[in-house]
Amino acid sequence: MNNWQKPGPLTIQAVETVALRRPLNKVYRGSKYSMQNRCTIITRILTHQGVVGEVYTGDTDDEQAQILKIINNELAPALIGKDVFNTEGCWEAMKPATYDILRDRGVVMQAIAAVDTAIWDTVGKALEMPLYKLWGGYADRIPIIAIGGYYGQTPDELAQEIADYVSYDTVGMKFKIGGKTPEMDLERLKVAREVGGEDYRLVVDANQGYDLQQAIRFVRLAEDAGITLEWFEEPVRWYNDKRWLRDVRYAAGVPVAAGQSEYRIDGVRDLIVGDSIDYCNYDASWGGGPTIWRRVASMCAAFGVKMAHHEEAQVASHLLASVAHGSFIECFHRDRDPFFWEIQTEERPIKGGYYTLSQKPGLGIELDRAYVERWKVGS
């Protein structure tokens, strides 16, 4: 029961988590990684006044148990009794969990992100306002692209995958490259152009799979083939990425996107001041939640860098629609991410290449309880 009365505090009573894992129908391979399970964590904020926030975030498999342990043993106790409207204070209360130098801070930031997102959902529900409106309300719909082009498919299978994305009514796709030579990857990309058509917008993502010269060569090959790239995401390897990202921009003249691999705001700062990016696809579910993403977005706006978001459309849609310099949200094939398509009770609102924001309060997420129970870890 909701007993909250404006404008009083809304105090946290408990934080609950539910881990989900669903085996996929095959292994999905990018340039240097593979995925065999779709995982996520449901995080709930319970308040003494009866308002409940509930979200699902993250796609981490191996570290899932560690993230749950951090939330339940460290973050939740630090938040009991805190006012959810004090979003900055709540984040600062969780911050000491990042001070342990003997563990991966990136995993801690994922744990904080799950809770921070649920706190914001609670705020939106209490105010009876969609979060994209609360955060700025620039647009109520946003273009959506699909992520695909995974390795290990025949040309016919790849063509069918692209046809599926067209049938989803997406405006374009992000195509995986970087796992083969630029010449071989271009032949694969040509399938997307042929099936999607001339107006189908193409982003390429090497997942840090190329070196500098390979990345530049791929852009030249795409130009010669008459294929325009919206942007080239993470084109080069991690050990010299900031300088090489800049060099790809300067030498190839293609917009460059990066930021999903950063979980610290100073890392994004260095990408910006190093002239390394045109688009920042910082991931709120990896990098500390909406509180930090919105700081990153403000910093990018000051430097003319556009915002994207790595995956997580159920959250990214509200963040990107709230700012004037947002770009695409992203989804996967139904087989690659069944949670996005099936875990919520309503259909995904995609039409004419655009995803329309829910007018329900908070993130507008209403979970299918039977579906959650089916894929809950340990069920």
User: Residue 318's domain is classified under what CATH number?
Assistant: 3.20.20.120
Plot region of 289 (φ>0 → left; ψ -120 to 50 → alpha; else → beta) = left
What CA–CA distance (Å, rounded) separates 43 from 312? 15
Residue 170 backbone dihedrals phi, psi, to 5 degrees: -75, 155
Q: In terms of residue numbers, what domain contains 206?
A: 133-363
Structural domain contains residue 5: no
Q: What is the pLDDT of residue 379?
A: 63
Structural domain contains residue 236: yes
Q: Are residues 137 and 30 in the same domain?
A: no
Q: What is the pLDDT of residue 144?
A: 98
Has this prediction a pTM greater than 0.75? yes
Nearest to 33 by CA among 261, 257, 218: 261
Q: What is the pLDDT of residue 3?
A: 73
Structural domain contains residue 254: yes
**Strand 141-148 versus strand 329-332 pairing type:** parallel
pLDDT digits (tens, 9 = 90+) for 336-354: 999 999 999 988 899 999 9
Structural domain contains residue 1: no
Q: Are residues 93 and 210 in the same domain?
A: no
pLDDT digits (tens, 9 = 90+) for 51-66: 999 999 999 999 999 9
Q: Are residues 21 and 110 in the same domain?
A: yes
pLDDT digits (tens, 9 = 90+) for 296-319: 999 999 999 999 999 999 999 999
pLDDT digits (tens, 9 = 90+) for 248-265: 999 999 999 999 999 999
Residue 103 has pLDDT above 60, yes or no: yes
Q: Are residues 117 and 170 in the same domain?
A: no
What CA–CA distance (Å, rounded) separates 150 from 6? 50
Lowest pLDDT segment from 27-31, 83-87, 191-195, 279-283? 27-31
Q: Are residues 113 and 138 in the same domain?
A: no
Contacts of 149 (CB under 8 A, 6+ apart): 158, 161, 162, 173, 174, 175, 176, 177, 188, 189, 192
CA dihedral 65, 71, 74, 77 (to 10 degrees): -140
What CA–CA distance (Å, rounded) separates 311 from 316? 7
Domain count, the chain: 2
Q: Are residues 139 and 175 in the same domain?
A: yes
Q: What is the pLDDT of residue 347?
A: 86
Nearest to 181 by CA among 212, 207, 155, 218: 218
Q: Are residues 118 and 137 in the same domain?
A: no
Structural domain contains residue 3: no
Percent of the chain with pLDDT over 90: 94
**Strand 229-233 versus strand 172-176 pairing type:** unpaired
| CB of 209 closer than 8 Å to CB of 177 | yes
Percent of the chain with pLDDT over 70: 99
Q: Are residues 119 and 138 in the same domain?
A: no
DSSP assignment letter at 255: -
CATH of the domain at 83: 3.30.390.10
Q: What is the mean pLDDT of the chain?
A: 96
Q: What is the pLDDT of residue 31?
A: 87
* H helices, E strands: number in the chain: 14, 13
Q: What is the pLDDT of residue 150?
A: 95
pLDDT digits (tens, 9 = 90+) for 143-155: 999 999 999 999 9
Q: What is the pLDDT of residue 1?
A: 54
Structural domain contains residue 45: yes
Structural domain contains residue 300: yes
Q: Are residues 255 and 332 in the same domain?
A: yes
Q: Are residues 121 and 185 in the same domain?
A: no
Q: What is the pLDDT of residue 34?
A: 87
| CB of 45 closer than 8 Å to CB of 121 | yes
Q: What is the pLDDT of residue 5?
A: 76
Mean pLDDT of 132-160: 97
Q: Are residues 197 and 231 in the same domain?
A: yes
Q: Are residues 121 and 137 in the same domain?
A: no
Residue 32 has pLDDT above 90, yes or no: no
Structural domain contains residue 56: yes
